[in-house]
Amino acid sequence: MSIVGEPITEPYIEFATHPDEYRHWRVDVDGVVATLTMQVDPDAGLRDDYDLKTNSYDLGVDIELHDAVQRLRFEHPGVKVVVVTGGLDKIFCAGANIQMLAGASHAHKVNFCKFTNETRNGIEDASTNSQQIYVAAVNGTAAGGGYELALACDEILLVDDRSSAVSLPEIPLLAVLPGTGGLTRVVEKRHVRRDLADAFSTKTEGVRGKTAIEWGLVDGIAPTSTWDDFVAERAAARAVDSDRPDDATGISLTPLDRTVATDSIATDSIDGDTIKWSTLSVEIDRATGTASFLISGPTGEQPSTGDELTAAGADAWILRAARELDDAILHLRFNEAEIGTWVFRTSGDADAVAKAEHVLGFERNHWLAREIRLLWARTLKRVDVTSRTIVTIVDPGSCFAGVLAELLLAADRSFMLDGTFEDLDDPPEPATIRLTPANFGWFPMSNDLARLQTRFWGRQDAEFDAAQTIDKDLLAADAAAAELVTFTPDDLDWDDEIRLMLEERNSFSPDALTGMEANYRFVGPETMETKIFSRLTAWQNWIFQRPNAVGPDGALQRFGTGSRPDFDRKRV
């Protein structure tokens, strides 16, 4: 375990995995029901200074869970119910590994909580929007993050064996909060009464059996003798409610095509400054703390029907681009924490982007079109909640149309060249942007609003005016008039304005920028998601800095030692 004050070296995090490589989860599919069994390998943690005992988890366990959830959605369209259960006797899940948290850097702890929340949100998205309904079969004790995993499911079943309980013991034991939204989900999702929720969250031993039912913490209980039949009956009953197809063929989520250039040598791992996928490249400039994304639009014929989309599978641009962008976001979050500004550019044909995304609306009831649309929504939400400055650059050759225009609307600041580069022998056509039906609700933010609605919150006239430009190619002056971009320099000032902005951004406090951006990005009504990613994150971020939790005498450091933590009693 690291000592406070020592520099912490985090391992490189790889997000690509496959069921054949899982160390912690088993996936079994039987007709319309799949079972996800958590049986964590204690010796397979991401660091070697802790053991993952009693089905406790670290980021590596959640990376596998995220992969399994994605594959069940895309590779098994006929699965209507997913039962999540524990593979150890009398243990569902003991939650996040405490020694892992105690020895992790602050940045890793916060990113870990964020990714874990996104994975739980993905489970809820699968239940609500994909109709692949998750049922938690809590076959033993579910503590902390273990109960939070159950909370993400649509239904919670608890074995009534007089010992198994659900609990959120973080406050009495660890001096932190249930970091994956537990407090929020208890009252917002399960509608547990506030006073009972308060009592529950300070009971180290948790709540069992009938009391858990009465308080609303679980949906059903059964004794050990009838447990398996009870779970099977509930899964069968939930399957009836699902609209998942009975006879569809899934697609394989093949490995992403990713290479890295380090000193002009291509490698298979991400440790260089130029990373390339088939639809995306990222250039890292460490001097300015900038990562420049270049997303390439589709080329060649793209699927226009659900059957064609299924036949193309993971090779369809509209799916590849989402998966590759998601991979890049996660890599940069965890492995490039000091790169504070992300600059998004695109290249290609706006018509091709519009045609490629058209199938998501034309075949919106097709299972695969729905899954791809929902994947884009989740990926763009990752952009929204990432603590990085987001800048969009629109110049000649860009294809910010439809789904790619969402990155323009997600940006903290955007630049669009007014005109073209006049000093070139053959000046290119001026840049344009194009809104399509995709920008009007296909990819909602965490506040359940489209990014256009968020942009014009409280200004319906401006939103109406922007809507009149749908399917039109807008030059810089038109885009500025529609309030879709921030600045429109001409070619004389273009390079200098962008350079000065990036240099200035790199000179500011990263903490202050994170706070400012998070305040500005989400307006309008609060939802469970916005509370998790703003209210919870803000408080947990602060708590993870406080010596009561992480100091040498704090609860995380003292946990398991037999020695009580020493708290600073001042309420601040």
Q: Which amino acid is at 483?
A: E
pLDDT at residue 534, as a whole number? 83
Task: Render 324-392 in DSSP notation, one character per residue.
Answer: HHHHHHHHHHHH-TT--EEEEEEES-HHHHHHHHHHHHHTTTSHHHHHHHHHHHHHHHHHHHSSSEEEE
Strand partners, 343: 292, 391
Q: Enumerate residues 6+ apart whose C-beta is below 8 A from 389.
A: 340, 341, 342, 412, 413, 505, 513, 517
Structural domains for the chain: 19-240 (3.90.226.10), 259-521 (3.90.226.10), 528-558 (no CATH)
Q: Which amino acid is at 315?
A: D
Q: Which amino acid is at 508?
A: F
> Alpha helix (H) ranges present in 132-189?
145-152, 170-174, 182-188
Task: Render 438-473 in DSSP notation, one character per residue.
Answer: GGTTTS--TTSS-HHHHHTTT-HHHHHHHHTTTT-E
The pairing of strands 280-285 and 274-276 is: antiparallel
**Do the beta carbons of residue 487 and residue 414 sit within 8 Å?**
yes
Q: Enumerate residues 6+ apart whose C-beta is below 8 A from 470.
A: 435, 436, 437, 439, 440
Using the Cα atoms of residue 444, residue 448, residue 453 and residue 455 in order, give the sign of their dihedral. negative
pLDDT at residue 553, as a whole number? 92
| CA pair distance 292, 297, nearest whole angstrom | 16
Residues of the chain scoring pLDDT < 70: 1-9, 261-272
Both structure tokens of 382: 């990752």
Strand partners, 34: 29, 82
